A and B are shown apart, each in its own frame.
Chain A
Amino acid sequence: DQQVKQNSPSLSVQEGRISILNCDYTNSMFDYFLWYKKYPAEGPTFLISISSIKDKNEDGRFTVFLNKSAKHLSLHIVPSQPGDSAVYFCAATYGQNFVFGPGTRLSVLP
């Protein structure tokens, strides 16, 4: 049973345009959400997070939106850069539970 889903395995975007990565979750107990970015042969690195008491968090080019009623969150990257090409993992947590989604591979084309 996948508690955290990322239904798009891959996404291609032109440099300078907006990248939107989506994530859905099923467990209403989750109260904190994170996005991690992973380059090949490296471990994931933290990107941005959001608490369930908020609906938006922004950090530079990265914005995460949370829609609790829909159990949906999204990561917006504006403007997209070639260096953003990586696999992006959505993660959700409550208490000591920590669950990753399967990831979306983003390719930013020059």
Chain B
Amino acid sequence: EAGVAQSPRYKIIEKRQSVAFWCNPISGHATLYWYQQILGQGPKLLIQFQNNGVVDDSQLPKDRFSAERLKGVDSTLKIQPAKLEDSAVYLCASSFGRAQETQYFGPGTRLLVL
């Protein structure tokens, strides 16, 4: 069974530029999550999709972050414009159903904003 795929693995941009991350969840998983993990902290949930609908985006900074999950499969997370404090690892995870089920994580995208 293929795992959660994410690209790119690394990205370096200057502040005020835009960046996009892509995630392909495990086949058949209805729920998809995007997390931000700042160095030395635990992952923080940004947004959760159930199929192609948003379940929770309460911690997503909507003035600069956006995410979509077209057709209920893969997803993109965009930051525009980026700030220095957005430097972090962005993790995508998926699960078969709701939050209490095991989440399977991708390897993450490490973003550095200069």
Number of interface residues of A (CB under 8 A): 24
B107 contact set on A, CB distance < 8 A: 41-43
Could you list which residues of chain B lie within 8 angstroms of chain A, going by C-beta atoms? 4, 33, 35, 40-45, 48, 55-56, 91, 93, 98-100, 102-108
Could you list which residues of chain A lie within 8 angstroms of chain B, going by C-beta atoms? 4, 6, 32, 34, 36, 41-46, 49, 89, 91, 93, 95-103
> Main SS of chain A's interface residues?
strand
A40: min CB distance to chain B, Å: 11
Chain B residue nearest to A41 (CB atoms) is B107
Chain A residue nearest to B48 (CB atoms) is A96
When the two chains form their complex, are residues A46 and B104 in contact, meaning their CB atoms are under 8 A apart?
yes
Chain A residue nearest to B37 (CB atoms) is A100
CA distance A44 to B35 in the complex (A): 11
B41 contact set on A, CB distance < 8 A: 102-103
CA distance A93 to B15 in the complex (A): 34
Also in contact, A43 and B100, with CB within 8 A (given A89-B42, A98-B45, A100-B44)? no
Cβ contacts A to B, 11 pairs, < 8 Å: A6-B42, A41-B107, A43-B93, A45-B105, A89-B42, A97-B56, A98-B48, A99-B45, A100-B35, A102-B41, A103-B41
